Amino acid sequence: QVKLVESGGGLVQPGGSLRLSCAPSGGISNSYTMGWFRQAPGKEREFVAAYRRSGSGTWYADSVKGRFTISRDAARSTMYLQMTTLKPEDTAVYYCAWTNSRLINSRVGAGEAYDYWGQGTQVSVSS
């Protein structure tokens, strides 16, 4: 069982920055894949970014490419999502997701491929 604790959300003006954190605990493998997803009011959950430790790689949704960066603290396996140049359309509840599996490239953006989810953290971008 993996537990995920998220932090770092808040209210920011357009053009501002925020950094989200996702700290896992429990039975973590060395072949995990970790993702960030978001859900805005009245919309479906959408993929934001992912990191795969085994055969490491990162993936980003087109809407955030060049503005968001996923990274990790290797010592603690904590994952971060650095968000810059935020826009009002980035407003959503952000969730980190985790699987101890090495997801293939075509599956890293699929929410159903992840086994564990954080509680979500609200990001609001408004002037």
pLDDT tens, 23-39? Answer: 998 888 878 899 999 99
Return the closest-CA partner of residue 68 out of 56, 50, 88, 55.
50
Q: Which residue has the tokens 């960030």?
A: 36
d(CA 41, CA 91): 9
Using one digit for the tens of pLDDT, what is the confidence trace for 83-93?
999 999 999 99
Instruction: Read off the tokens for 68.
Output: 């968001």
Given a contact cutoff of 8 angstroms between Cβ atoms, the answer to whether 50 and 106 are in contact is: no
What would the two tokens of residue 25 be?
């605990």
Asked whether residue 4 carries a pLDDT value surpassing 90, the answer given is yes
Coil, helix or strand at residue 111:
helix
Q: Please report where in the chains the tokens 């859900």 appear, as a residue.
A: 39
Query: Is the CB of residue 12 less than 8 Å from the CB of residue 82?
Result: no
Instruction: In whole angstroms, give the CA distance from residue 40 to residue 58.
Output: 23
> What is the predicted pLDDT for the residue at 28?
82
pLDDT digits 0-9 by tens, 51-84: 998 766 899 999 999 999 998 887 777 899 999 9
Rg (CA), the chain: 14
Share of the chain above pLDDT 90, in %: 81
